[in-house]
Amino acid sequence: MSFIAVDPTSDFSFHNLPYGIFSTPDSPRHRIGVAIGDQILDLSAVKSLFRGPVLSKHQDVFDQPTLNAFMALGYEAWREARRTVQMLLSANESTLRDDMSLRSRAFIHQSAVIMHLPANIGDYTDFYSSRDHATNVGIMFRGKENALMPNWLRLPVGYHGRASSVVVSGTPIRRPSGQMRPDQTKPPVFGPSKKLDIELEMAFFVGGGNPLGEPIPIQKAHEHIFGMVLMNDWSARDIQAWEYVPLGPFLGKNFGTTISPWVVPMEALLPFAEPNPIQDPEPLPYLQQHDAYTFNINLFVSLKGKGMAEAVNICRSNFKYMYWTMKQQLAHHTVNGCNVKPGDLLASGTISGPDPESFGSMLELSWNGSKNIDLGGEGTRTFLNDGDEVTISGYCEGDGYRVGFGTCQGTILPALLL
């Protein structure tokens, strides 16, 4: 355990130690930190203590304003860094524990910092890997007999999103305007989206990349997956419905995607790995994996509207409901020789489970606006109103501790009228 006191319900236990980028009002320089309890360990203040065979030559990565350079060092560097941080924070290790001068420089209370995007995100890909979600949407728009498209059970379906509009938790989201066709007998109209939605997702950051033309085999995929964050892929369903044929989502998706600021390393999540879902038909050989890489992560979505005294939970789901794993997603993404780079972001797609309370979008919760979502006596919703504050949270539950992600939060601002 650590000499830093950690509440058992804290997301940031000694078993977690996620990485993030922070600054303070009196020191605006962006720095790499590790969260433990309500504290942040500033790695730039202790960089000289990373003396292992890999990081002793690369201590400068902890002076960088993003995680990209650290991610690029690869799998062995990440493992070495985690062992060093665990050692420095251990109750039995005096190096940091007993040096009060160093401690005063190295630790900052989380309430005193400003969090930033963890990495410079070069590219962003969004998958569509929840069978329950894909089935629900398919039933809504194509009927039960044609709910899943013929390719869905054969490969991880995805599309390339917009990296420039990925923002850190707490950034307000402007209601988008665009073309819609609410009445199929009339021409399209332009205006603010009336079906603004959430998507409960998670995403992983690529660590070490691959050269152009050289796929990442599924047996090596874990060496390229740095860690995970929460994600809300805000979606304008009415804009999306009119534009998506034939090339897929565009303006209905690219106006804003929110992620949580703390990146939980995969090593912290491995104790919560569960057997992968049975995949029938069996995937092609390049997608076959047999080690457990599905994770038991409890996920929650809450909504607080204008005038509401407190937020109301509208969804309880779990990452273990995913059909395609992160290894399969990465192997498929690169099988044609596509190169990925440190800091690239790959998202799960909406995470829905088998029960209505586990549906990860308002599209499903309201069944495309045909029924109300109850806000516990504080009104109802079908889709988002201006002023609505949406918060996604998630954690793995251990024996007396949690490995959590913090929060992924955004508030809807009114559309700008053109």
Tokens representing 37?
């309890």
Tens digits of residue pLDDT in 49-70: 999 999 999 999 999 999 999 9
What pLDDT sits at residue 377? 87
Domain boundary among 116, 139, 167: 116
User: What's 258's DSSP letter?
Assistant: E
Annotated ligand binding at 350? The verdict is yes
The CA distance from 111 to 24, in Å, is 10
Residues 192 and 282 in one domain: yes
pTM, two decimal places: 0.97
* Spans in the chain with pLDDT lower than 70: none
We report the CATH number of the domain holding residue 182 as 3.90.850.10
Annotated ligand binding at 128? The verdict is yes
Kindly provide the residue ranges of all beta strands, DSSP E only, lying in 207-311, ordered along the sequence.
225-232, 235-236, 257-259, 264-265, 273-274, 294-295, 298-304
Is the Cβ–Cβ distance between 44 and 107 less than 8 Å?
Answer: no
The reply to whether 12 falls in a domain is no
Residue 166: which H helix or E strand, with range?
strand 166-168
Q: How many CB atoms lie within 10 A of CB 21?
A: 23
Tens digits of residue pLDDT in 314-373: 999 999 999 999 999 999 999 999 999 999 999 999 999 999 999 999 999 999 999 999
Tokens representing 205?
């950051």
The reply to whether 10 falls in a domain is no
What pLDDT sits at residue 158? 97
Domain boundary among 116, 137, 161: 116
Annotated ligand binding at 357? The verdict is no
We report the CATH number of the domain holding residue 55 as 2.30.30.230
Residues 64 and 130 in one domain: no
Residues 104 and 128 in one domain: no
Annotated ligand binding at 240? The verdict is yes
**Structural domain span for residue 153:** 124-413
Annotated ligand binding at 201? The verdict is yes
What pLDDT sits at residue 418? 84
The CA distance from 153 to 171, in Å, is 36
Residues 79 and 57 in one domain: yes
Total tally of structural domains belonging to the chain:
2
Residues 139 and 110 in one domain: no
Domain boundary among 94, 116, 138: 116
The reply to whether 3 falls in a domain is no
The runs of H, that is alpha helices, within 90-222 are 94-97, 100-106, 131-142
The reply to whether 2 falls in a domain is no
Instruction: Look up tokens 């909406």; give the residue.
Output: 350
Residues 110 and 236 in one domain: no
Assign 3-state DSSP to the chain and report helix, strand, coil percentages, each to 5.
25, 30, 45
Instruction: Tell me whether residue 109 is one of the annotated catalytic residues.
Output: no
User: What's 136's DSSP letter?
Assistant: H
Q: From the candidates 58, 109, 116, 133, which is the catalytic residue?
A: 133
